[in-house]
Chain A
Amino acid sequence: MRASDLLHPRPEGLYCPPADFFIDPVRPVNRALITHGHSDHARSGHRSVLATQQTLDIMGLRYGEDFAGTTQAAALGEAIALNGVTVTFHPAGHVLGSAQIEVVHQGSCIVASGDYKRHRDATCEPFEPVKCDVFITEATFGLPVFRHPPDTEEIARLLKSTAQFPERAHLVGAYALGKAQRVMRLLRDAGYDKPIYIHGTLAKLSDYYQRQGIDLGTLEPATVESGGKDDFTGAIVVGPPSAFADRWARRFPDPISCFASGWMRIRQRAKQGGVELPLIISDHADWDELTATIRETGAGEIWVTHGREEALVRWCELEGIAARPLHLVGYEDEGD
């Protein structure tokens, strides 16, 4: 069968007609397979959801326990039969619980990567390349300008800055699921053992990470009740980027605004956002990881989605690999 008969885009999301399911649908559907817990991929209101246990847990934390009619946990590497179609979840290395979904039917094999990265990350399972006929890749950072540096270097710059400016608080903008916990974990791995202050929206997910055995050390709420302005002197505070433009940030002494994101590779992005210390830490594959992964999967055909499709399609053309953009709507880059 043609690959496009096995999976193709619909307004709701990527659809599999023989088994009647959607991958990461953006609207409520009958059966949804979900790659990871970011809100543009994992929405509430589906009748049934198949995802890794961790993704299901995260959806429960974000939307409440009744986020779907029924749920089923997919163990990584376990083949699951759905109306004659075999689906298998493989780790994607994006955030805790994230998975690629391998879809096999009548001898043709498609892997929908969801969002992924190749850089080592102590807060989730590493990406596993899966041989396939068609590889559906994300392209959030699908331009040759995006080359993420080692995250340890970025954290070292943050720590250097806290030593240089001990009288100021460092506010690190990081998305609530994945990035925030990765930053905290990187700080711990770099030997930072003081309490890390967190914005309220990070509390539930960070607790969950800790319960999953990812040690983030002592986290304290960055509330005024926990102390006066002076108590945040020299502190590292982690919160969602949006909070730092908000009045919330006024409780900190002369803060240095930092932002942990792959977008920080571009100086103008940092400048426009008023970021003083950009930390180039991304949960998405950079250009070199994207192209290396495409090669590793051995796929004869590449479908490129959410991001800068045209550059990656061009690269595939130059490499003699068939490629086309897959126009899916509704995905933002919450994860970065």
Chain B
Amino acid sequence: MNRFAELLDRLVLTPSRNGKLTLLSDYFRSVEDPDRGLALAAITGDLTIAAVKPAMLRMLVMERMDPVLFGYSYDYVGDLAETVSLVWPQSPGDIANHEPTLAEVVAKLQAASRSDGPKVLARLLDSASISARFAIIKLVTGGLRIGVSARLAKQALADLGKVDVAEIEELWHGLTPPYTELFAWLEGKAEKPKKTALALFRPVMLSNPIGDGDLEKLDPADYAAEWKWDGIRVQAVSEGGIRRLYSRTGDDVSGAFPDLAEAMNFSATLDGELLVGDPLQATGTFSDLQQRLNRKSVTPKIQQQYPAFMRCYDVLQIGEEDLRARSFRERRARLEAFVQMLDSSRFDLSPLVEFTDWQALEELRRKPLHPVIEGVMLKRWDSPYLTGRPKGPWFKWKRDPHTVDAVLMYAQRGHGKRSSFYSDYTFGVWSGPEGSEELVPVGKAYFGFTDEELRQIDKYVRDNTIERFGPVRSVRADRRQGLVLEVAFEGLNRSTRHKSGVAMRFPRISRLRWDKPAAEADRIETLQALLDT
């Protein structure tokens, strides 16, 4: 249990992706079965343990210590799980010679009935060290919140076995904790596990952005063009009565889209974009789609308000027939015929865009006919459906980003190579009536600038600090003085969490406007106008 606890503690404080990968793959390498597999399941969210409510946890600790002292402690720490893990009273006899392993903890928690759950938990806490207690409480209260996605955990497995992450994604949904056969394969001690389960994820094909000079080398006749829809990439797999919707990294998102899953009365694997609205009437914006994202389950009201549908652009399998080796031209023809047979309120076809030369396509890309279009896709007619991001067959050619001139308001120190640089910037635009304008924060960005520009901004931040809060500095920003940043972003969402009412998608610093007076930065109305389109 202690090794798992230590892993969680390190992951939560390690910001860099590579650092996390090292910690994870070292853990998987050094810890034995079944502990490592259970840890993996806990991280990917595939471990089922009956939840203990915070109120119950509180009650357990109150039975064991002075409520006033607990109150002081909780006030100071601010996090219930952490407070309980620290103050849980322990007599020297409690820690047995043998600290419980993760497998023992999980077995006891899973075997506990609803009524004796709290007692089982208390006994486990009695036998564990402080950080193990914290990990146990995290397991039972749900949500480790360590900043590690299932995708990252799978990447760490791929690193461990020196295999492509796509191989793991493809197997994943056929495996169950503690994944003994998966680890055996990754360590070269056994054959690759057989795919026996139905409706498994097939790793998706990804595109590369069109770079400078790329188009000149391509013949327009070799490529089909489609609109690039601003939804989320999904794979709909229906096989032997099992229906699943996967995200592009192989996470099962079916639970959030029961309305769409219900319409999957076919036997095939489709690739496409998940959107909301009515495919025949009106396609909803990304902002609308967000109402349906990151939910484990969804109410009928939301389903009705924001019905989900899939705009299909590829087919990987029909019945028993794997089509991935066929050309895009052939798959497209099969797809067109196939989609016609499906429920038209849930599935439609992503139309091809007719064009003769790149110039003509460029015109269309710049002025798409629908706000939910964020550019065009180019797909080679003769390309098979390949895993990963091969260079050549698929390109994305995005609409130019939006930009806004904003004023730097706060700067936060980075991590690792950037730990002595103020590298994360919160910026704002003007709001309020003329004469009493104030800056309202609209976003945060930490890339898009060169190393030299980083040094310049860092110096500016240090020279113009007006207040410090831990690693954050508040920078002078008023009508007379302030650093104007040109921020590029892909889109705007309405947000109730931000004072400004907007949230930027994928913001990055595109230029430093040392030349521009702060008072001439943009106003919030400029952004609000974008929302209404």
Contacts and interface: CB of A to CB of B under 8 A. Distances in A.
Interface of A: 143-147, 149, 157, 161, 164-165, 168, 244-250, 253-257, 265-268, 270-278, 308, 310-311, 314-315, 318
A311 B15 contact: no
Given A147-B86, A267-B13, A314-B68, 4 more contacts: A144-B70, A249-B420, A270-B13, A271-B13
Given A164-B23, A247-B420, A265-B86, A143 B72 contact: yes
Given A265-B86, A266-B82, A274 B22 contact: no
Interface string B42-82: 00000000000000000000000110111011001111001
Contacts of B86: 144-147, 265
Contacts of A266: 76-77, 82
B420 A246 contact: yes
B76 A145 contact: yes
Contacts of A257: 415, 419
A244 B419 contact: yes
Contacts of A149: 130
B73 A276 contact: no
A268 B471 contact: no
B438 interface: no
Contacts of B76: 143, 145, 266, 308
B13 A277 contact: yes
Given A143-B76, A145-B87, A164-B22, A274 B413 contact: yes
Interface residues of B, number: 36
A250 B470 contact: no
Contacts of B22: 164-165
B101 interface: no
A97 B419 CA distance: 35
A12 to B, nearest CB: 30
Contacts of B417: 253-255
B465 interface: no
Given A245-B413, A272-B470, A273-B471, A311 B82 contact: no
10 contacts: A145-B76, A146-B86, A245-B419, A253-B417, A266-B76, A266-B77, A268-B79, A273-B470, A314-B68, A315-B69
A59 B425 CA distance: 42
A245 B130 contact: no
Nearest to A310: B72
A246 B422 CA distance: 10
A248 B13 contact: no
Interface in B3-19: 6, 9-10, 12-15, 19
A244 B13 contact: no
A311 B65 CA distance: 13
A148 to B, nearest CB: 10
B72 A164 contact: no
Contacts of B419: 244-245, 249, 255, 257, 274
B420 A145 contact: no
A268 B421 CA distance: 21
B83 interface: yes
B269 to A, nearest CB: 40
A307 B127 CA distance: 31
A165 B22 CA distance: 8
A249 B415 CA distance: 12
A42 B474 CA distance: 34
B26 interface: yes
Contacts, number: 98
Nearest to B78: A268
A318 B66 contact: yes
B83 A256 contact: no
B72 A272 contact: no
B435 interface: no
B211 interface: no
Contacts of A246: 420
B240 interface: no
Given A144-B65, A268-B77, A274 B12 contact: no
Contact of A145 (B10, B19, B73, B421): B73
Interface string B411-447: 0010111011100000000000000000000000000
B471 A314 contact: no
A298 B268 CA distance: 79
Contact of A311 (B10, B69, B420, B471): B69
Q: Which of A157, A265, A276 has the most chain B CB atoms closer than 10 A to its own CB?
A: A276
A161 B7 CA distance: 12
Contacts of B78: 268
A247 B68 CA distance: 44
A149 B421 CA distance: 32
A38 B444 CA distance: 40
Contacts of A310: 72
B76 to A, nearest CB: 6
Contacts of B87: 144-145
Nearest to A265: B86
Q: Which of A146, A249, A311 has the most chain B CB atoms closer than 10 A to its own CB?
A: A311
Given A165-B22, A277-B13, A314-B66, A272 B73 contact: no
Contacts of B416: 168, 254-256
Contacts of A247: 420
Contacts of A248: 420
A145 B75 CA distance: 11
B72 A314 contact: yes
Given A164-B26, A165-B22, A314-B69, A244 B420 contact: yes
A267 B19 CA distance: 18
Contacts of B72: 143-144, 308, 310-311, 314
Nearest to B22: A164
B232 to A, nearest CB: 30
